[in-house]
Homo-oligomer: A and B are copies of this chain.
Amino acid sequence: MPKFFAHPSALVEAATIGAGTRIWAFAHVMRGAVVGPDCNIGDHAFIEGGTVIGRGVTVKNGVCLWEGVTIEDHAFLGPCSVFTNDLLPRSPRAPSAADRYAGKAWLVKTRVCEGASVGANATIRCGVTLGRYCMVGAGSVVTRDVAPFTLVSGNPARVMGRVSMEGRRLRRAGGKWVDPDSGRLYRFRGDEILECPK
């Protein structure tokens, strides 16, 4: 007996759904997808075989995830955020695209690291890595890697600031960044995180 919940209208063909995960109305999780425990998969979401999703991930309504997309633990994928796995797609049914889709060389992977948040209706171009606990603003188009704990926004998305693990804007304090609520400190060097609360 499965230990996850699926709404009666959901289609769950994958064999590997973690305990405590809930899959809501009209969602479709295909064979070969891996979904960890304690996730929440919203209405009308689509998860293709070859997608890998960790523990405690929130996949909001209407999100499509594809082969080659990896979502690490506790990430948040906002409603109608869109992922891709082909930089220059053609219809595989076009004769001129037969060579392109004979193998898998067209497939470009995407990684959403632990705790990262993708805003509603954001578009993530394949090939990027969204760093730990970064945040992508709603409606943004991400075309390059996003550093950990970094807020990006716009089309193309640009750095707008830093955010805490808990989802608060950080303020600069000398060479460090501070969460004004908790007082906890973060330190960065370029795109690298040197110090953060554990």
Majority secondary structure, A binding face: loop
A43/B40 contact (C-beta < 8 A), A88-B169, A91-B58 known? no
Judge whether A58 and B92 touch: CB under 8 Å.
yes
Judge whether A57 and B93 touch: CB under 8 Å.
yes
Bits for A72-90, please: 1 = Cβ < 8 Å to B, else 0: 0111101110111000111
Inter-chain contacts of A100 with B (CB < 8 A): 166-167
CA distance A137 to B141 in the complex (A): 10
A138/B84 contact (C-beta < 8 A), A43-B46, A90-B117 known? yes
Determine if A159 is an interface residue (Cβ-Cβ < 8 Å): no
A90 to B, closest residue via Cβ: B167
Bits for A117-154, please: 1 = Cβ < 8 Å to B, else 0: 10111110100000000010111110000000000001
Question: Pick the contact of A64 from B61, B73, B89, B125 — CB < 8 Å?
Answer: B61
Question: Pick the contact of A139 from B94, B96, B141 — CB < 8 Å?
Answer: B141
Identify the interface centre among A25, A57, A166, A167: most chain B CB within 10 Å of its CB. Answer: A167
Number of copies: 3
For residue A105, give the distance in angstroms from its CB to the closest CB of chain B. Answer: 11
Bin chain A's interface residue count. 35 or more
Inter-chain contacts of A42 with B (CB < 8 A): 46
CA distance A183 to B155 in the complex (A): 33
CA distance A78 to B123 in the complex (A): 12
Q: Apart from A25-B28, A42-B46, A74-B93, what 6 extra A-B contacts exist at CB < 8 Å?
A: A56-B91, A57-B91, A82-B121, A82-B138, A88-B168, A94-B115
